[in-house]
Amino acid sequence: MTENLKKFVELNRKKKELKKQLKQLEDELKQLQEDVMEVFEEEGIDKISLDGYTIFLKRTLWAKAKNGDYVYTVTKMKEYGLGDYVQEKFSTQAVSAYVREMEQEDPEEFEKLKEIFDISEVIQPQVKKL
């Protein structure tokens, strides 16, 4: 049993360190992306092979609400026959926070929420440094 607890602590420590390393790598890659774009622009190229890899430019279009006006955009989407792309949704994180708050502060409201949501309790071991 003690060995499993020690391993659990060690794996959590490694996980934290790897997340830190990953964040550093992602930050470095983000900076290098800008440099790579400059090289491609200066050299007038759109791909290059190096060390068994091909570096290339990928173009992706992204759409978002016109001028940040979600209501306008949704209305227009429905007018243009794009209603299948419109979803009504809620933030599970925000609602879960509200549910936790109601469990502590208003048990009657908490009971009503059980009619609307599947409420589950998750208990997991955690590790924190002393």
Tell me how far apart the alpha carbons of residues 35 and 127 are, in angstroms, rounded to a whole number: 39
Question: Domain range spanning residue 33?
Answer: 1-59
DSSP letters, 87-112, are: -----HHHHHHHHHHHHHH-HHHHHH
Confirm whether 51 is domain-assigned.
yes
**117 pLDDT band (50/70/90 cuts)?**
very high
The top-scoring range by mean pLDDT among 20-29, 37-46, 121-130 is 20-29
Residue length of the chain: 130
Q: What is the DSSP letter of 46?
A: S
Could you identify the residue written with the tokens 């409420």? Answer: 119
Task: Count the domains in the chain.
Answer: 1
Tens-place pLDDT, residues 1-15: 899 999 999 999 999
